[in-house]
Chain A
């Protein structure tokens, strides 16, 4: 496939790019280094980095790139764990961080209009200042861009109640290969005219076009929230308790679980408030109005009567103390090895316990420990494996485990990825049916006949 694309830029190409982007282009290897990789730590070859400031520039660029058969690799903040930003063939990286404006937050229409490069956490904070709420909440929201979230359909902690990024995208403006600017959807919360091609861009992993503007749905900011961290003697007991909560008709806005290995590493790496008898944790959050949160919290507490230990927090300051234990997991995991392969499989919610236990068995059969935590409310399991890359045997066993975990997730009717996307790491053919996979590829060609956008990625 690489032979189909330009593998180097001529002086004329460079002149074109310099005239179009002025100081928003670079061919300097020092600058290009950061654009050659992402959080997957894979690297590719970057011929140039361009940084459009507006859709007009991008139209002109995409017209040129399509005509010249240059591979184009769109990029937000480069945080993909699945190699979504890594050039699979030599090409030009389009950094969208120069288009990071919040154009409008409308309290009347409950929508916001943003450019794709805006940082997720900063956008959320801007909404909250106006009493509005943008619920998609990937755990890495401080690091990610909204455009990156849309292109991967990022989920997050609040997905159990509020859904994922897809549920908040009302309109998409994008530039297609060939340079055409298209606009799908609008600022209405309902719109059933025509095919919903805007939402087709959500989770498309940069294969259909480059998003230049987004209209997203907002909600009123919940007035209040409360969290409770609950300890159990085992993950079995913890998830049985979670089952009781849902059966009672309670819908928390977040439910996180942590398996026994997670508690072990948290205990090893810092102070913890729970007694030794606690081996697994659930972390719940409920939100709503000032009047309803205490009632909801009390209902929740009644269902958690089988817990060994609990710690409650009402309001941001107190809750942050509880969530700090969840946030510590990632850094603490390094005690099990300096390198990591992360999994983000999703399984039907009722299968979490069986899936985690199966994952643990697979890990143990390869001499590995499974760091199992994640969003219990929506069946999204972060199944992380730590290892020492300088030990070839450890590296091999870890890779083998990771592949076996993917297979196991599918056995449970699950997905290879609930959040991170296929990128260039996942063998999506294992999950997608042959016919369905071929249809997706045909559809991709409708938008990108010459296959210049993110070749070899997604599906």
Chain B
């Protein structure tokens, strides 16, 4: 039997949902106590006096940021526990989530354009945050690059597969082109990987464990067939999900996978950065929760952009399926996240596709949120 929450309370300060409500019941420990009581692995009973149907609304107020797991003395993951509960208690909405995530990706930009057409005045309050998110799917016009990069020395003969993720594939193909350009500029041998499926992160949170197993197997098979190249990701959430694949791999292969799954920026070794003169004096950096303790982007961005200021808030609310299961709470978290930037911060960069979409949906007219790939260029191309 697994041992559960010790109720030490270390999770309260790191939980973005608690930060909004300041109520213990919304903290990870509050939700764990309910979820563990119905989870047989923790000695719970699914037929307890408070079954899933009763606790569902409260227990699923989780953005899946995993900050609580890092703070936990037992390293317990509340979002995993929630995923297990969802998996054991299927709900019709999960099929809708699966459909949105896996099947209709190519239609996301169209959804965004339709949302742009709706005048603000006619959007009912309950749909406001969903419409804002849909609008964020429509790309901002490109900006002049702030930094031109080139390698001091090229890396030759190293095979890399680019794992782009659904958002880039469906709504921001420009990021893929930029990432490929940088990797090629650095001399990496790019392996053709257009066939990668969704990383599975959102499917996991939705409790769609069968669907997760499907995409995971497909991605692993493609990696194996390609000769086990490095796997570069420019989305912290995708990288986080890929890291989780080791749970079903042999110890030896899992170790290799872990070594080879890397953030794109960590492959841009020994970069020479030249300011183009287009960078704003002050730039905000939103640190994606899913980088955990090893954010490869921040040190590089700091060295390229001297005016970079890290936001002080917690999760933007895009993680997990909160965006779909409780869009208003998710949007409140994004707004709280924006409050963590100084008022003079007009431009925010980050390294997670989901965070870009989420923060863009609440950015308003005066702020722009971009992936860092949008603001760099390869010097050779200029």
Q: Which residues of A contact B (CB under 8 A)?
A: 26, 29-31, 33-35, 37-39, 41, 51, 77-79, 95, 97-98, 100, 117, 119, 121-122, 140, 142-144, 330-331, 334, 338-340, 390
Q: Mark B65-82, 1 if CB is under 8 A from A, else 0.
A: 000000101110000000
Q: Can you spell out 19 A-B residue pairs with CB atoms less than 8 angstroms apart?
A: A30-B54, A30-B55, A33-B33, A33-B50, A34-B30, A34-B33, A35-B24, A35-B25, A41-B6, A51-B23, A77-B24, A97-B22, A117-B22, A121-B13, A122-B13, A140-B8, A140-B10, A334-B74, A339-B3
**Do A39 and B7 touch across chains, with their CB atoms under 8 A apart?**
yes
**Do B24 and A29 touch across chains, with their CB atoms under 8 A apart?**
no
Distance between A287 CB and nearest chain B CB, rounded to angstroms: 24
- Given A77-B24, A331-B74: A143 in contact with B58 (beta carbons within 8 A): no
**Do A39 and B12 touch across chains, with their CB atoms under 8 A apart?**
no
What residues of chain A lie closer than 8 Å to B1, measured between beta carbons? 390
Q: Which residues of chain B from 3 to 49 have a CB within 8 Å of any chain A CB?
A: 3, 6-10, 12-13, 22-25, 27, 29-30, 33-34, 37, 49
Distance between A312 CB and nearest chain B CB, rounded to angstroms: 24
In Å, the complex CA distance between A29 and B25 comes to 11
**Do A142 and B13 touch across chains, with their CB atoms under 8 A apart?**
yes
In Å, the complex CA distance between A139 and B277 comes to 47
Closest 4 CB pairs of A and B: A143-B9, A34-B30, A338-B3, A79-B9
Contact for A34 among B24, B50, B54, CB less than 8 A: B24
- Given A29-B50, A30-B54: A78 in contact with B25 (beta carbons within 8 A): no
What residues of chain A lie closer than 8 Å to B7, measured between beta carbons? 37-39, 41, 78-79
Distance between B57 CB and nearest chain A CB, rounded to angstroms: 8
Closest B residue to A143 using CB positions: B9
Distance between B245 CB and nearest chain A CB, rounded to angstroms: 24
In Å, the complex CA distance between A98 and B50 comes to 27
Distance between B49 CB and nearest chain A CB, rounded to angstroms: 8
Number of CB contacts from chain A to chain B under 8 A = 79
Contact for A119 among B8, B13, B74, B75, CB less than 8 A: B13
**Do A79 and B8 touch across chains, with their CB atoms under 8 A apart?**
yes
Contact for A78 among B24, B71, B75, CB less than 8 A: B24
**Do B25 and A31 touch across chains, with their CB atoms under 8 A apart?**
yes
Q: Mark B312-334, 1 if CB is under 8 A from A, else 0.
A: 00000000000000000000000
* SS of A interface (majority): mixed
Q: Mark B243-287, 1 if CB is under 8 A from A, else 0.
A: 000000000000000000000000000000000000000000000
In Å, the complex CA distance between A117 and B7 comes to 17
Closest B residue to A328 using CB positions: B73
What residues of chain B lie closer than 8 Å to A77, measured between beta carbons? 9, 12, 24
Distance between A58 CB and nearest chain B CB, rounded to angstroms: 17
In Å, the complex CA distance between A100 and B19 comes to 12
Distance between A64 CB and nearest chain B CB, rounded to angstroms: 22
Distance between A426 CB and nearest chain B CB, rounded to angstroms: 19
In Å, the complex CA distance between A122 and B34 comes to 28
In Å, the complex CA distance between A31 and B74 comes to 24
What residues of chain B lie closer than 8 Å to A340, measured between beta carbons? 6
- Given A33-B34, A38-B7: A143 in contact with B12 (beta carbons within 8 A): yes
Contact for A30 among B13, B27, B34, B75, CB less than 8 A: B34
What residues of chain B lie closer than 8 Å to A142, measured between beta carbons? 10, 13, 71
Closest A residue to B56 using CB positions: A30
**Do A97 and B23 touch across chains, with their CB atoms under 8 A apart?**
yes
In Å, the complex CA distance between A396 and B110 comes to 65
In Å, the complex CA distance between A119 and B22 comes to 11
In Å, the complex CA distance between A136 and B9 comes to 18
Q: A97-B23, A143-B12, A143-B13 are in contact. List 16 more A-B contacts (CB 8 A).
A: A26-B25, A30-B58, A34-B25, A34-B29, A34-B30, A35-B24, A41-B6, A41-B7, A97-B24, A117-B22, A119-B12, A119-B13, A122-B13, A143-B8, A334-B3, A339-B3
What residues of chain B lie closer than 8 Å to A143, measured between beta carbons? 8-10, 12-13
Distance between A200 CB and nearest chain B CB, rounded to angstroms: 27
Distance between A421 CB and nearest chain B CB, rounded to angstroms: 16
What residues of chain B lie closer than 8 Å to A117, measured between beta carbons? 22
What residues of chain A lie closer than 8 Å to B23, measured between beta carbons? 51, 95, 97
In Å, the complex CA distance between A41 and B54 comes to 23
In Å, the complex CA distance between A78 and B55 comes to 21
What residues of chain B lie closer than 8 Å to A122, measured between beta carbons? 13
Closest A residue to B71 using CB positions: A142
In Å, the complex CA distance between A26 and B24 comes to 12
In Å, the complex CA distance between A144 and B73 comes to 15
- Given A98-B22, A334-B74: A39 in contact with B8 (beta carbons within 8 A): yes
Tell me which of B8, B50, B74 has the highest count of chain A C-beta atoms within 10 A of its own C-beta.
B8
Closest A residue to B9 using CB positions: A143
In Å, the complex CA distance between A26 and B25 comes to 11
Closest B residue to A117 using CB positions: B22
In Å, the complex CA distance between A31 and B71 comes to 23
Q: Mark B152-180, 1 if CB is under 8 A from A, else 0.
A: 00000000000000000000000000000
What residues of chain A lie closer than 8 Å to B9, measured between beta carbons? 39, 77-79, 140, 143-144
Tell me which of B25, B34, B75 has the highest count of chain A C-beta atoms within 10 A of its own C-beta.
B25
Distance between A265 CB and nearest chain B CB, rounded to angstroms: 13
What residues of chain A lie closer than 8 Å to B58, measured between beta carbons? 30-31
Distance between B364 CB and nearest chain A CB, rounded to angstroms: 28
What residues of chain A lie closer than 8 Å to B10, measured between beta carbons? 140, 142-143
Distance between A5 CB and nearest chain B CB, rounded to angstroms: 23
What residues of chain A lie closer than 8 Å to B3, measured between beta carbons? 334, 338-339
Closest A residue to B21 using CB positions: A97
Q: Mark B371-382, 1 if CB is under 8 A from A, else 0.
A: 000000000000
In Å, the complex CA distance between A30 and B37 comes to 11
Distance between B211 CB and nearest chain A CB, rounded to angstroms: 29
What residues of chain A lie closer than 8 Å to B55, measured between beta carbons? 30
**Do A39 and B6 touch across chains, with their CB atoms under 8 A apart?**
yes
In Å, the complex CA distance between A299 and B158 comes to 54
What residues of chain A lie closer than 8 Å to B50, measured between beta carbons? 29-30, 33
In Å, the complex CA distance between A95 and B22 comes to 10
Distance between B310 CB and nearest chain A CB, rounded to angstroms: 15
In Å, the complex CA distance between A31 and B27 comes to 11
What residues of chain B lie closer than 8 Å to A121, measured between beta carbons? 13
Distance between A214 CB and nearest chain B CB, rounded to angstroms: 18
What residues of chain A lie closer than 8 Å to B37, measured between beta carbons? 33
What residues of chain B lie closer than 8 Å to A119, measured between beta carbons? 12-13
Tell me which of A30, A143, A144, A331 has the highest count of chain B C-beta atoms within 10 A of its own C-beta.
A30
In Å, the complex CA distance between A212 and B3 comes to 36
**Do B74 and A33 touch across chains, with their CB atoms under 8 A apart?**
no
Tell me which of B13, B54, B55 has the highest count of chain A C-beta atoms within 10 A of its own C-beta.
B13
Closest A residue to B49 using CB positions: A29
In Å, the complex CA distance between A122 and B19 comes to 12
Distance between B27 CB and nearest chain A CB, rounded to angstroms: 7
Distance between B193 CB and nearest chain A CB, rounded to angstroms: 35
- Given A39-B8, A143-B9, A143-B13: A30 in contact with B25 (beta carbons within 8 A): yes
In Å, the complex CA distance between A446 and B29 comes to 37
Distance between B101 CB and nearest chain A CB, rounded to angstroms: 29
In Å, the complex CA distance between A144 and B12 comes to 10
Distance between A125 CB and nearest chain B CB, rounded to angstroms: 11
Distance between A310 CB and nearest chain B CB, rounded to angstroms: 27
Closest A residue to B10 using CB positions: A143
Distance between B82 CB and nearest chain A CB, rounded to angstroms: 14
Distance between B157 CB and nearest chain A CB, rounded to angstroms: 33
In Å, the complex CA distance between A122 and B18 comes to 15
Distance between B10 CB and nearest chain A CB, rounded to angstroms: 5
Closest A residue to B5 using CB positions: A41
Closest B residue to A389 using CB positions: B3
